[in-house]
Amino acid sequence: MNLSIQEELQPFAEELQRYITPVFLEKLASELGFVKRKRKFSGSDLATICIWVSQRVTSDPLVRLCSRLHAATGTLLRPEGLNKRFNAKAVLFLKHILSLLLQQKICEQTQISNQLFAHFERIRIMDATVFQVPNTLEYIYPGSGGCAQTAGIKIPLEYDLHSGQFLNFQVGPGKKKDKTFGTECLDTLR
């Protein structure tokens, strides 16, 4: 059975609603520099438009996204204004939300004996996942060419089980080799 992207993302969106409040989102947006002063478009609005209202944020027209945002939150924004909000700080903000959710879920499900931790300063876990995205993104996220897809995203992740911290989290082109990511992390080894 093939699931649509929206069906795959729905459980993720539901989990986020369990853990993340609008107040928390505003604080995080401010800390990361996505929001520098009180304005009509907030961190909570970005999360709403990208996570809860439209899992098709990359393909829906800006006019439709603005309309959905207004219907969901009451925030009225022009398409040009919304387009300006999709920037590097917005990406960083969304990465942090994903990172926090993953950390919360791992901590909930990890039951390791304290005796084991006594022998190690760190327990590092490193892995990556790759998935295909529409071919129109091939110039930003070139893929490996598998299954006739020319665009793909790879998300390498490194987690310290001992401290519960993410040591490295990246989003990059699908053709990037796992070995390259591992080599980039060598400096953090003791």
pTM listed for this prediction: 0.61
Question: Strand, coil or helix: what is 103?
Answer: helix
What pLDDT score does 146 carry? Answer: 66
How far is Cα 133 from Cα 135, in angstroms, rounded to an integer?
Answer: 6
Cα atoms in the 13 Å half-sphere on the side-chain side of 139? 1
What pLDDT score does 63 carry? Answer: 92
Q: What is the pLDDT of residues 88-141, one digit of tens each?
A: 898 888 888 887 777 776 666 655 666 767 777 888 888 888 888 888 888 888
How far is Cα 124 from Cα 162, in angstroms, rounded to an integer?
Answer: 8
Beta bridge partners of 77: none
How far is Cα 35 from Cα 173, in angstroms, rounded to an integer?
Answer: 28
Residues of the chain with pLDDT under 70: 1-13, 15-16, 54-55, 105-114, 116, 146-148, 182, 188-190
What pLDDT score does 143 carry? Answer: 83
Q: Report the percent of the chain where pLDDT is more than 90.
A: 3
CA neighbor of 51 nearest in space, from 15, 24, 87, 27? 15
Token pair of 176 as six digits: 């990037």
